[in-house]
Chains A and B, each alone.
Chain A
């Protein structure tokens, strides 16, 4: 009969090898044949042949004298041979005795690797978690570094957006710090620097509506936050005034100037002396509504109750607002 689907010789060889491997592992021949019942007919004589070969070969044992004498020759020859240093990839050093110097080297290398890994981890963690950091936080430096990198890599309109974001971040930081009265001059200086940078960009670039809107919001919120800072920490008043000036300059450069005003600081208002005298009738009547002439910064002399009543710099007031001052002296 012609076998259309005759097995390849390699398949028979694989089956035989598999059965022989089971036999090698100690399985009785009958059990192996049970496992290969379909092939048992042709497997059995082969497996019995190999069993016989193995048994007869194993029966031929070397003499004990030969084995022992060869061992002595083997060891003697080994003593004559120059010794070889173990391979560098030896996997047994943990079990082998280690010299103190090698132990120190291993410890040093291990700690160095651990240190580098910790540094990389801290850097990564710092950059990831630095978005909400405020001055004084451990990762605030990462935030500034990240901002610098972003700014350096940006160009054109993208740079304006980044600078806007950074200035907004400074305002938020001041707001957080101001709530606990922990603002430092350096914190205010940072806002001032960013506002100045923004002013430069506003002057040299054409801003779109969104960017102008953001500047307007920054200006308004900056003034509000800075006034709060000055109320809580009067010693920061000079820095506050200068920064508000800078913020307003930025607003002016962006074409949204005039929105920000400087509220009089309570600590700076000398209440008793600011009260106008009843006999200075015209001055007191016009003081609250005094409108400075366009381009003139100084309010009408009659609007000022007395020279000592105005605590803030009149120049600053004029350059910032250009609008009617809202700092009405208290009656």
Chain B
């Protein structure tokens, strides 16, 4: 088996090397890129959208857009993640706008209880998620973006600032205000 540049990479995720190899069409690099960013992107989208189906659709749109624009991506002092999350944010915003123009539909649940799990815990968790999401919906858009990226996607303050084109101080203030409001809105037991 021929060794690709990505095979020789260090175990840690070397973003630059992986992205460049992926741009050259290296399938292993593309896989690593996907595996690295998929959980973060999905959690971010899921934290912004109520329905899991919507989150899946939007996540798919995001990755297809990423692969379509990968050739035009250039390093301009920002990490690849910042570029990717800008695409993700635009897709989420675009989806929310489209949703507002549609008539509200009854949500169908595909949840099938697993007998091996504690059903009560699952229900409680879903309620908590719903409660947090509902509270977050009442936050200003900038604060919601910060919360979704920081605690949904798991980005750092610096990464969030790069993705949102804001300063780190600005992100810290938005994060503080948002959490302070959520704390009063969500009653945690």
Q: Is the CB of B188 within 8 A of A52?
A: yes
Question: Within 8 Å of chain B (Cβ to Cβ): is A17?
Answer: yes
Contact segment of A56-64, A116-124, A175-183, A261-269: A56-64
Contact with A along B146-189 (1 / 0, CB 8 A): 01000110101100000000000100110111011011001010
- In the complex, the chain B residue whose C-beta lies closest to that of A89 is B75
Q: Is the CB of B38 within 8 A of A52?
A: no
Question: Within 8 Å of chain A (Cβ to Cβ): is B13?
Answer: no
Q: Given that A60-B43, A74-B64, A95-B5 are contacting pairs, would A49 and B179 also be in contact in the complex, using a CB cutoff of 8 Å?
A: yes
Size category of the binding interface on chain A: 35 or more
Cβ-neighbour of B68 out of A14, A50, A53, A77 (below 8 A): A77
Min CB distance B158 to A, Å, is: 10
Min CB distance A67 to B, Å, is: 6
Q: Is the CB of A77 within 8 A of B67?
A: yes
Contact with B along A62-84 (1 / 0, CB 8 A): 10001100110111011101111
Q: Is the CB of B56 within 8 A of A56?
A: no
CA distance in complex: A14, B172 (Å) = 6
Q: Give A1-38 interface residues, CB cut-off 8 Å to B.
A: 9-10, 12-14, 16-17, 20-21, 24
Q: Is the CB of B34 within 8 A of A16?
A: no
Q: Is the CB of B156 within 8 A of A24?
A: yes
Question: Within 8 Å of chain B (Cβ to Cβ): is A186?
Answer: no
Contact with A along B48-76 (1 / 0, CB 8 A): 00001001100110011001101100110
Q: Given that A60-B52, A84-B70 are contacting pairs, would A17 and B132 also be in contact in the complex, using a CB cutoff of 8 Å?
A: no
Q: Is the CB of A81 within 8 A of B188?
A: no
CA distance in complex: A13, B70 (Å) = 36
Question: Within 8 Å of chain B (Cβ to Cβ): is A153?
Answer: no
Q: Is the CB of B151 within 8 A of A81?
A: no
CA distance in complex: A85, B71 (Å) = 9
Question: Within 8 Å of chain B (Cβ to Cβ): is A272?
Answer: no
Question: Within 8 Å of chain A (Cβ to Cβ): is B16?
Answer: yes
The interface residues of chain B lying within 8 Å CB-to-CB of A97 are: 5
Q: Given that A81-B67, A83-B25 are contacting pairs, would A46 and B30 also be in contact in the complex, using a CB cutoff of 8 Å?
A: no
- In the complex, the chain A residue whose C-beta lies closest to that of B157 is A17
Number of interface residues of B (CB under 8 A): 58
Q: Given that A16-B175, A62-B42, A89-B75 are contacting pairs, would A10 and B169 also be in contact in the complex, using a CB cutoff of 8 Å?
A: yes
Q: Is the CB of B71 within 8 A of A70?
A: no
Question: Within 8 Å of chain A (Cβ to Cβ): is B46?
Answer: yes
CA distance in complex: A58, B128 (Å) = 12
CA distance in complex: A125, B8 (Å) = 44
Q: Is the CB of B20 within 8 A of A13?
A: no
- In the complex, the chain B residue whose C-beta lies closest to that of A94 is B8
Contact with A along B10-30 (1 / 0, CB 8 A): 000010110011111101001
Q: Is the CB of B182 within 8 A of A53?
A: yes
Cβ-neighbour of A92 out of B17, B42, B71, B151 (below 8 A): B17
Question: Within 8 Å of chain B (Cβ to Cβ): is A45?
Answer: yes
Question: Within 8 Å of chain B (Cβ to Cβ): is A149?
Answer: no
Q: Given that A21-B156, A52-B132, A70-B60 are contacting pairs, would A46 and B67 also be in contact in the complex, using a CB cutoff of 8 Å?
A: no
Q: Given that A10-B169, A86-B20, A86-B23 are contacting pairs, would A17 and B30 also be in contact in the complex, using a CB cutoff of 8 Å?
A: no
Cβ-neighbour of A95 out of B8, B24, B31, B125 (below 8 A): B8
Q: Is the CB of A54 within 8 A of B31?
A: no
Min CB distance A180 to B, Å, is: 63
Question: Within 8 Å of chain A (Cβ to Cβ): is B47?
Answer: yes
The interface residues of chain A lying within 8 Å CB-to-CB of B24 are: 83-86
Min CB distance A27 to B, Å, is: 15
Min CB distance A85 to B, Å, is: 7
Question: Within 8 Å of chain A (Cβ to Cβ): is B129?
Answer: yes
CA distance in complex: A75, B67 (Å) = 9
Given contacts A84-B25, A96-B5, 14 further A-B contacts (CB under 8 A): A17-B175, A46-B183, A50-B151, A56-B129, A70-B59, A70-B63, A71-B35, A73-B60, A74-B63, A75-B34, A86-B20, A86-B23, A87-B20, A92-B14
A-B contact pairs, 9 of them (CB 8 A): A10-B172, A45-B183, A46-B176, A57-B46, A67-B42, A83-B25, A84-B23, A87-B74, A95-B8
Could you list which residues of chain B lie within 8 angstroms of chain A, going by C-beta atoms? 5, 8-9, 14, 16-17, 20-25, 27, 30-31, 34-35, 38-39, 42-43, 46-47, 52, 55-56, 59-60, 63-64, 67-68, 70-71, 74-75, 125, 128-129, 132, 147, 151-152, 154, 156-157, 169, 172-173, 175-177, 179-180, 182-183, 186, 188
Closest 6 A-B residue pairs measured CB to CB? A13-B176, A83-B25, A84-B71, A17-B172, A13-B173, A13-B172
